[in-house]
Amino acid sequence: MKRKSFELNVGLKQYIESFYSNKKKSKLLHFYKDKYNVPFDITDLYLKQRTSRCFIMKSKKFDLKLSNLYIFISILKYFTFLVYTLLFSKKKKSSDTKKFELLIDLIANESEIERWLLLEREFTCEQTRFIASCEISNDLKTKHNISIRKPMQGYDRQLLLSLLFRSFITDIFFLVKNSFNTGLNLVHINNLFVNDYLYYSNLFNEFKAKFMIQDRNLGMTNALKNFLFNKSGGILSACTQKNIVQHNANSLFFDSDILFSLGENTAEDLFDFGARIDHVVPVGSLSMESMYSQKKFSYESLNNEKKIDILYIGINAVNAINENYDDYYESLRWLTKISNANPELGIFIKHHPSWKSDSREANIINESSISYLNKFLDTYQLAFESNLIVTYGSTMGYELIGCGHKVLFFDPNNMNPFLIDSLNKNKYVIKDYNYVENIITNIDRIMSFRDKEKYCLLNKTVSQSIYNFFQKNI
């Protein structure tokens, strides 16, 4: 039987597709085909993904921006956007184009560059270009090819004038009319489309490459970007699996030529959620490889003496304003019960460095002996020093299965959105607290996963695996 969260997400996918029925969709697809020369299938996937990302899981409603009541504001924003981009536009020359083997896109902060250094070494520094949206230190700029690309700046002036300004009135009339036909504010979605089209047309005009890769949450893929990359001469667009396929709106309508997945089964749900993927290639964890290469932990330490009885890897529930994580807090109540029933156990919670204090979480564990570990400590190393790993939704749960750790997933109410469907029936997914007590009293008897490759490959050379795949599929 399928999970509740799985079925709900499939239902949301079908609901979004209903907005774009064949008759309504046909006019939209022809509009973007005639104006931007974008194929029907690309536009179709792009529109549906952008619509899905406007859905708020917590309230089970679409963002107000997608309402037709917001159309006038969207028109005003579109006009302001065009004027702003024109003011900061440039006259483009074909001689400005630079060629590389690999583009690494969507670098959001300096620390993300570290995890790509081994792949950069495979391609060589000279043939790799990082595309960042943040400020980068001069020290890193001197060591790597890094381009800081800010939206709405440096776009092609001639493209803006000929493609957008000349037809502004007729475009708005068409979009408003079809907004009322579909029940969605298409002006808002069009604003996103135009910005992406201009940004990536400009980027791929300046930087051409055979391959492009990104490492973001799976909802951050972009069918239009991948199409424009291939149109510019690119061979393959790819995404590495940074997070597990969460059963929510952000995992719908994924798009990538290649997905380098954590394990053999960790991407399977995406196809039920409307994904377009040509090849899923299991390679393991890029983040784990990066930490290992920096000697922040050692795989060989797995059998060392355990200093921690239970390590609970938390999630940033307090930061997720659009998600309902009541079941996550219920899993912490389970952890508190375990601590009170087994005071001799050393139980610790470890969060990601980006985590901020969570008063609701703190109040739950306040009446127990559970302690927080410094969030800046290396979680992989702490895991190797732990007898048992417990989590509600951390991707590290899957990574650590691949290392041979004992891992439990808590799933109160059978609604955990972080569990891939194939994991649902596994005995280490705990749905009843009574079963928790039985397991915890026999920690030493808990076995590691037998089929660990399904969840994460233990691969110390992930970057080399990615490089080899690219070279074999030129």
What does 83-138 look like in DSSP terms, one character per residue? Answer: HHHHHT-B---GGG-EEEEEEEEEE-SGGGGGGGHHHHHHH-GGGEEEEESS---H
User: pLDDT digit string (tens) for 416-428?
Assistant: 999 988 887 788 8
Pairwise CA distance, residues 214 & 471, whole Å: 17
Number of domains in the chain: 2
CB 79 within 8 A of CB 188: no
Please determine, for residue 240, whether its predicted confidence score (pLDDT) is greater than 80.
yes
- Among 327, 332, 330, 324, CA closest to 351: 332
User: For residue range 391-434, what is the model confidence (pLDDT) as tens digits?
Assistant: 999 999 999 999 999 999 999 988 899 998 888 778 889 999 98
Higher pLDDT, 290 or 470: 470
Per-residue pLDDT, 443: 82
Contact 308, 348 (CB under 8 A): yes
Domain boundary among 252, 284, 316: 284
Domain end marker among 261, 284, 307: 284
- The angle at the Cα of 355, spanning 336 to 329, to the nearest 5 degrees, equals 30
Residues of the domain holding 263: 4-91+152-284
Same domain (yes/no): 261, 311: no
Is the pLDDT assigned to residue 302 strictly greater than 60?
no
Residue 228 falls inside a structural domain: yes
Instruction: Classify residue 291: in a domain, yes or no.
Output: no
Give residue 337's pLDDT band: very low, low, confident or very high (50, 70, 90): very high
- pTM of this structure: 0.94
Q: Residue written as tokens 């997933």?
A: 409
Scan for tokens 């690999």, then name that residue.
102
Checking if the pLDDT of 136 tops 60, the result is yes
pLDDT at 233 over 60: yes
State yes or no: pLDDT of 268 exceeds 70: yes
Mean pLDDT of the chain: 91
CATH of the domain at 325: 3.40.50.2000
Encode pLDDT of 138-173 as tens digits. Answer: 999 999 999 999 889 889 999 899 999 989 999 999
pLDDT at position 445: 80
pLDDT value at residue 299: 65
Confidence category of residue 332, pLDDT binned at 50, 70, 90: very high
Q: Is residue 228 domain-shared with residue 322, that is, in the same domain?
A: no
Q: Please write the tens of the pLDDT for every residue from 68-94.
A: 999 999 999 999 999 999 999 988 776
Q: Is residue 103 part of a domain?
A: no
Report the SS3 class of residue 229. Answer: helix
Instruction: Note the pLDDT tens digit of each residue in 32-63.
Output: 999 999 999 999 999 999 999 999 988 889 99
Separation between Cα atoms, residue 239 and residue 221, nearest integer Å: 8
State whether residue 296 is helix, strand or coil: coil
Q: Where are the alpha helices (DSSP H) in 386-443?
A: 396-402, 433-440
Whether 460 shows a pLDDT value over 70: the answer reads yes
Lowest mean pLDDT across 102-106, 191-195, 353-357, 424-428: 424-428
Same-domain check for residues 225 and 358: no
Residue 366 pLDDT greater than 90, yes or no: yes
Predicted confidence (pLDDT) at residue 446 exceeds the cutoff of 90: no
Give the residue-averaged pLDDT of 331-346. 94
User: Does residue 395 sit within a domain?
Assistant: yes
